[in-house]
Amino acid sequence: MKKSRAQEPDLGRYGKLAEYNRKRRFDVTPEPSGKVGRAKQKEREFVIQKHRASHLHYDFRLEHDGVMLSWSVPKGPSLDPSVKRFAMQTEDHPIDYNQFEGVIPEGEYGGGTVMIWDNGTWEPEVDDVDRAFEKGDLKFKLHGKKLRGSWVLVRMRSRQWLLIKHRDAAASTDDITAKKNRSVVSRRTLAAIAKAAGASAKQLEAAKEADAPPT
Ligand code: MN
């Protein structure tokens, strides 16, 4: 983590969520403002948010040291161990973000509809998460409603990682993102979330498209 951020401006004095807070206008977006939470040793949360912004992607977040480490996965996770999914590391998010499902207004950062696609807890399969993160080889187990078992995030370069399922009982060739396209908290589709939150016509159309399994 420290290594990949060496070339960026030093925002350390604003805390881990400086980048998150800088990108958002909290008087306009319904997203939570960023506060660093208390680091927990047990029951670390994870969340995956299906997000139809300018492009559809799945935001993969793991709780660590009071924030959610975050990656944007354009194609979403795959249960097939032979499939490597590209995962772009994004700014740390507040733990409160795990509860966010709704619509970010058009013109705002990440404008579009957000669904809580999966959630639960995770546990590292390494002794030291910080070291594994810096090395770019983070092995972990997910205890979610859709995703389970052992996974790995491997860094290729700077912020570019791969998300890969390990071979175990939870591995499968099922197309999980197509088969399970509803929210784990509200059972709603992306279009239903968009409609309820008063999305624009354009956002509603994009949400409907993202609900349909890829052809
Ligand atoms: Mn996103």
pLDDT tens-digit readout, 39-95: 766 789 999 999 999 999 999 999 999 999 999 999 999 999 999 999 999 999 999
**Per-residue pLDDT averaged across 162-180, rounded?**
97
Alpha-carbon distance 74 to 58, whole Å?
6
Percent of the chain's residues with pLDDT above 90: 84
174 CA distance to ligand 1 middle (Å) = 24
* Ligand 1 centroid, distance to 178 Cα (angstroms): 18
Is the pLDDT assigned to residue 6 strictly greater than 80? no
* Confidence band, pLDDT 50/70/90 cuts, at residue 37: confident
End-to-end Cα, the chain, rounded Å? 37
pLDDT of residue 13: 46
pLDDT at 199 exceeding the cut of 90: yes
When pLDDT is cut at 50, 70 and 90, the band that residue 212 belongs to is: confident
Q: From CA 211, how far away is CA 136, in angstroms rounded?
A: 33
> 86 alpha carbon to ligand 1 midpoint, in Å?
14
Distance 110 CA to ligand 1 centre (A): 6
Asked if 67 and 89 count as a contact pair (C-beta separation under 8 A), the reply is no
pTM more than 0.75: yes
Ligand 1 centre distance from Cα of residue 203 (Å): 14
Q: How far is the CA of 112 from the centre of ligand 1 (A)?
A: 9
Residue 200 C-alpha to ligand 1 middle, in angstroms?
18
- Whether the pLDDT of residue 201 is over 60: the answer is yes
Query: What's the pLDDT tens digit per position in 127-159?
Result: 999 999 999 999 999 999 999 999 999 999 999
Q: Which residues of 189-215 are buried (b: 16+ CB within 10 A; e: fewer)?
A: bbbbbbbebebeeebbebbbebbeeee
pLDDT of residue 214: 59
80 CA from centroid of ligand 1 (Å):
23
Kindly give the distance from the C-alpha atom of residue 87 to the centroid of ligand 1, in angstroms, as a whole number: 12
Going from N- to C-terminal start, the domains of the chain cover 45-211
Q: What is the sign, positive or negative, of the torsion defined by CA atoms of 91, 97, 101, 104?
A: negative
